């Protein structure tokens, strides 16, 4: 039986640049750096964002951008603060998708390796309730 998500891994060209990205936008806590010891396929770092374990490994960047993404929930009252953090790093912000009235807000942005992130202010139940209204 699946208990929960264990972790999410991103392969990135520059570990230090991604570390800064995670710390400055998400207040990620770095909890491990393999340094010269490779227990996996390459040097890696582990972070906690909230209670989510994020693994970051050295390797080649994604060759293209897609809508596949990882979304973190943030309070509506803090979305503008996070948008300022994203803009300070100078990463590309993706235009949001069209939404129905009453649906939560989102901010989409890419890291330096073409991974798409979303900061979202709603919940699954709120979205289902809104969609049920037609």
- How far does Cα 116 stand from its chain's mean position? 7
Catalytic residue (choose from 16, 29, 44, 58): 44
Task: Tell the burial category of 103 from Cβ atoms under 10 Å away from its Cβ (0-12, 13-18, 19+).
Answer: middle
Candidates 70, 65, 54, 67; CA nearest to 113 is: 65
User: Is 44 considered catalytic here?
Assistant: yes
Which residue has tokens 């503008």? 80
**Residues classed as catalytic:** 44
């Amino acid at each position: 039986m699946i208990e929960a998500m264990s972790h999410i891994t991103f392969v990135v060209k520059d570990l230090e640049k991604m570390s800064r990205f995670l710390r400055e936008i998400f207040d990620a806590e770095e909890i491990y750096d393999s340094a010269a010891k490779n227990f996996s396929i390459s040097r890696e770092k582990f972070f906690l964002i909230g209670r989510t374990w994020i693994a970051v490994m050295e390797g080649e960047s994604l060759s293209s951008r897609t809508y596949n993404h990882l979304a973190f929930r943030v309070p509506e009252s803090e979305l503008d603060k996070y948008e300022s953090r994203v803009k300070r790093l100078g990463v590309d912000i993706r235009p949001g998708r069209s939404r129905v009235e009453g649906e939560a807000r989102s901010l989409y942005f890419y890291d330096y390796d073409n991974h798409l992130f979303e900061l979202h202010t709603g919940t699954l139940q709120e979205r289902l309730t809104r969609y049920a209204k037609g």
